[in-house]
Amino acid sequence: MFSTRTLTAELVQLADVPACLSTAGLNGSRYVAVNASYLRLIERVWPEIQSKELLAAGSAVNSAQRDRRLWMLDNNGYYDAEPAEVRAATGRIIPVEISSQRVWCSGVACDLEYLMPLPPEKPHGAGSGVSETASRRASFTPRFSASLKSMSLLDRQILVGRILSLAAEGAVLATRLAEPQETGRTLAAIVEHLSVYQVVNHARPTQIGFDFSDLEYHQLEDLLLRVAGEIWRLVMACEDREIVEMLRCLIVEYTMPKPVVVTW
């Protein structure tokens, strides 16, 4: 259909930075279109937010900054490079700058936003990378692997990134609960290997957050399977049933340990 709404939505898709088109309004602003960069930024797939309210979908952060930006759109029709925050699906708050223009799309007032993510704030003492030594990769379960193959590359990247973030945060929590023995030392090593991806979680400053958005899909998959492989080793060796159950919950829905060859 040839309309100003579809043409503006196409502009969003062509942007080389995260971009979003939404209906105008303080509380009733709804998603009209976003591009792949925007979905990667907030770690969501389009069906999760399509036609949803920005605040209700959890992506927009209600704040005095947002009220100021909406006031400028209502009164000036635009703003440039304003500080803002968006919320990722894992709860991490991401600082950005937004430039926006109030536009009319097929008779409906809309806001066209372009976002520039700011460099993530790294915690002091973050490590230099993930260890490549002697990691036993896990495997995806057949059901989850089949589901991944049916998805687009973008959706796979977002989903695996979210799972990896939750597994990493769970490993941090388990480290704090584990006794300072072999299990605790192994968990601490996993967390240390992931420390290069640690960022400050502005939503929960006392909790470690992780940002894997710079990784390509094959890197995300490899890292998740290596982390899951290390966790499976602990699951099979640890005698603390509480820690075992916590670790299993992090990985059992998606992965299984490296297959063991059984001879009869």
- What are the tens digits of pLDDT across the range 92-109? 899 999 999 999 999 999
Task: Please tell me which residue, 243 or 36, carries the higher pLDDT value.
Answer: 36
Predicted local confidence at residue 206, as pLDDT? 60
Residue 124: inside a domain: no
Residue 263 lies in a domain: no
Q: What are the residues whose beta carbons fall under 8 Å from the beta carbon of 236, sequence distance 6 or more? A: 257
Instruction: Please state the domain count of the chain.
Output: 2
**Mean pLDDT calculated for residue range 53-75:** 93
Dist CA 126 CA 199 (whole Å): 9
Q: Is residue 210 part of a domain?
A: yes
Residues 112 and 12 in one domain: yes
Phi, psi of 69 (to 5 degrees): -65, -40
- Amino acid code (one letter) for 59: S
Averaged pLDDT of the chain? 88
166 and 78 together in one domain: no
**The domain containing residue 246 runs over which residues?**
139-256
Average pLDDT over residues 159-187: 87
Rounded to whole angstroms, how far apart are CA atoms 148 and 82? Answer: 37
Per-residue pLDDT at 205: 60
Tell me what the mean pLDDT of segment 179-206 comes to. Answer: 81
What is the reported pLDDT for 134? Answer: 45
Q: What is the pLDDT of residue 143?
A: 95
- Confidence class for position 128, pLDDT limits 50, 70, 90: very low
Q: Compute the average pLDDT of residues 70-86.
A: 96
Range name among 26-30, 42-46, 191-195 with the lowest pLDDT average: 26-30
Question: Do 145 and 215 fall into the same domain?
Answer: yes
Cα angle: 42, vertex 47, 53; to 5 degrees: 70
Q: State whether 47 and 82 are in the same domain.
A: yes
Give the position of tokens 């959890």. 58
What pTM was computed for the model?
0.83
CATH number assigned to the domain comprising residue 110: 3.30.450.20
Query: Which segment of 32-36, 65-69, 119-123, 244-248 scores lowest on mean pLDDT?
Result: 119-123
End-to-end CA distance of the chain: 64
User: Is the same domain home to 156 and 247?
Assistant: yes
Mean pLDDT of 41-59: 94
**Are residues 188 and 228 both part of a single domain?**
yes
Cα 130 to Cα 199: distance, rounded to the nearest angstrom: 15
Question: Does residue 91 sit in the same domain as residue 155?
Answer: no
pLDDT bin (cut points 50, 70, 90) of residue 116 is very high
Beta-carbon count within 10 A of 198 CB: 22
Q: Which residues contact 144 (CB under 8 A, 6 or more apart)?
A: 253, 254, 255
The two three-digit tokens of residue 91, written as one number: 């709860």
Assess if residue 230 is contained within a domain: yes
Burial of 257 (0-12, 13-18, 19+ CB in 10 A): middle
